Structure 1
Amino acid sequence: MLVRTKVATISPAETEGVGKKRLWTMAHQDALIGYLFILPQLAGITIFVVVPLVLVFWYSLHEWNVLAGNFDYTGLDNYRQLFADPVLPEILRVTGIFSIGLVAFNMSLALLLAILLNQKLHGIILFRTLFFSPVVVSLVAWTIVWGFLLQKDGGINGLLAVIGVEGPNWLRNETSAMVSVIIVQVFKNVGLNMVLFLAALQNVPGELYEAALMDGASRWQQFLRITLPLISPTVLLTAIITIVGSLQVFAQIAVLTQGGPGTSTTVLVYYLYQQAFQFHLFGYGSTLSILLFVIVAILTFAQWQLRKKWVFYEA
């Protein structure tokens, strides 16, 4: 007995339709939505970071004097001038001193304030607000006020005179000028790091301190063995932010000391400004910008690579 079976056939049109459906799947839709979400940020990075960086490198290969109207290709001449610049080693030394002093003072003070303000006391929110308020103050206004306070007959020396101490002209002495600029910058931005440390401290489980206290651990031991390891990711974040910020300080130097006395407060960013906008050597100024970019990139990369040795969650 023969049994006839009917074989289903698919027309070419249907086959083409199936193929088209496979080219546009749910995964492709999700990917497109994701790309649309990051498109504004990607466009911003491209326009305001990548393109300017490429242009700066291009300008560094030219001799560009705006006043004379010159824009001549010089190849690597600006980079040769960079290595032969007799002033640059002193500028890098001053930049290093400024950055190390600012980072050490800022992070130490921020952590100390965060520990002190991480208490459940009446009115503690007011103190947190007071210490954070300089962050939102205009940078130029803040610097101008401190410029008046640090003058020979300014408010700081007035307070010292009350206790019988004659203060120096803070901004006209090489040592005191550097210290003054560092303190002004630290007081301006320490509140930001303080808030970051405070948030990290509030996420440390209290049970760990109770267990350590029962085991007889001192306050210092609790800080070294519990607090510091658990907030180490925040320490890494604040270190990167503070170091990069210290290498980009300009307004405070320009308003307070103009790089003086001599070159005692002339950091790399201010030296770059002088070459480009005061001496109109935009080609050499662009070369200094590339040097600054390389320094920041190396320091950030080094910190990121070293994180596995001291960041608790990366061990």
Structure 2
Amino acid sequence: MTDTHLRGRDATRVSPAGDRSRFWTARRKDALTGYAFVAPELLGVLMLVLIPVGLAAWYSLHEWNVFSGELKYVGGDNWVALTTDPNIPSMLGATVVFSLGVVLLNMALGLGLAVMLNRKVRGIEFFRTLFFSPVVVSVVAWTLVWGLLLQDNGVINELLKLVGVDGPNWLNNGPTAMIAVIITQVLRSAGVNMVLFLAALQGVPAELYEAARLDGAGRGRMFWSVTLPLISPTVLLTAILTVIGALQSFAIIAVLTQGGPETSTTVLVYYVFQQAFLFSKIGYGSALALMLLVFVLILTVVQWQLRRKFVFYED
């Protein structure tokens, strides 16, 4: 057999490996690595967001009797019921009041704590940990403790008696019950905003404050003209996260007031739970859940669009 034939057979034998090496280029390997890294996140979005939303849309067109297992198609009846439900106005009103209270107080308290703790003094880490610690406490345990404190004969009213104030029955009166759930929510979650604001404040260049002092600016002017514009991207982020968190607050209301007294603290997310799981109206509860999703999306888009007017980017 000639050398030419041997070389031809060898070339034929190694050609598949050559094809594979040409296919797995560096660019394709990098792309595969990227897909492998994002695959868990995409899988999580698919399993925990897209599929549940799709199922909620499907169930909103049906009425499901969970006891008999009967699934009956009702078309748009559940959506029509949203326009005739007498509880919708009070529920939306409670949702607006609760969300505004939580968002405004949470951001104000978080920013105030961050400003106070943005100092290089001895022991400051202890206070940062102290104010952040409620975030890691079980929400149910936190709410149960506050439920005891807010009783008619609880610690808070006993402290008020020491200064001559007759405290109300916090959880059995509509306005005070709403105040109670707002404060309980804010005190537990403000630590997250505090950490975000603190990180933003530590990124503000010190030379800008020095230049402002040389121009005669006081503390208030420096905060409004230097600090706030430079941390405005963080303000936008915390506003979006706090609004979403307020609209999704369920455990504190479920444990503290169960939506009462009457419907004074029945916010939208708790009303979804009532209709779907307490009254077994899975289809109507699904329609309410989708309405909550639409509200969250609209508010998020509105806040995101406002960044063009209120958010300052250094670049």
TM-score with structure 2 setting the length: 0.92
User: For the residues of structure 1 that align with 2:17 and 2:101, how far apart are their CA atoms?
Assistant: 68
**Superposed displacement of residue 22, structure 1:** 4.7
1:85 corresponds to = 85
Cα distance in 2 for partners of 1:95, 1:122 equals: 42
Q: Are residues 1:40 and 2:44 paired?
A: no
**Maintained 8 Å contact 1:307/1:314:** no
Question: What's the offset of the Cα at 1:69?
Answer: 3.1
Measure how far apart 1:18 and its partner are: 7.4
Counterparts in 2 of 1:3-82, with a 5 A limit?
22-82=22-82
Name the SS for the 1:98 alignment partner: helix
Which deviations, in whole Å up to 9, do the C-alpha atoms of 1:30-75 show, x marking residues without a partner?
1011101111111111111111111111111101121243210111
Deviates more, 1:121-130 or 1:107-116: 121-130
1:147-296 pair list within 5 angstroms: 147-296=147-296
Stretches of structure 2 lacking an aligned partner (at least 5 in a row): 1-7
Q: CA RMSD in A?
A: 1.9
Equivalent residues in 2 for 1:103-182, closer than 5 Å: 103-182=103-182
1:89 shift after superposition: 1.7
1:227-268 deviations in Å (ceiling 9; x for gaps): 001111111111111000000111111111111111110000
Q: Over residues 169-219 of structure 1, what are the superposed CA-to-partner deviations in whole Å (9 max), with x where a residue is unaligned? A: 001111111011000000001111001101110110111001100100111
Amino acid at match of 1:224: W
Out of 228-237 and 12-21, give the one that drifted further: 12-21
- Sequence identity of aligned pairs in percent? 59
How many Å separate the matches in 2 of 1:279 and 1:297?
A: 27
In 2, Cα distance between equivalents of 1:15 and 1:191 = 62
The one-letter code matched in structure 2 to 1:132 is F
Deviation at 1:83, TM superposition (A): 1.8
Distance apart, 1:25 and its partner CA? 2.2
Letter in 2 for 1:92: L
Aligned equivalent of 1:6: none
How many angstroms does 1:17 deviate by?
A: 8.3
CA distance in 1, matches of 2:147, 2:210: 48
Q: CA deviation at 1:82?
A: 1.2
Aligned pairs, how many?
A: 306
2:265 and 2:184 mapped to 1: Cα distance?
Answer: 13
Distance (whole Å) between structure 2 residues aligned to residue 215 and residue 97 of structure 1: 42
Q: What is the rounded CA distance, in whole Å, between the counterparts of 2:139 and 2:291 in structure 1?
A: 26
**In 2, are the aligned partners of 1:67 and 1:280 still within 8 Å (CA)?**
no
Corresponding letter in the other structure for 1:260: G
Distance in 2 between residues matched to 1:140 and 1:216, nearest whole Å: 50
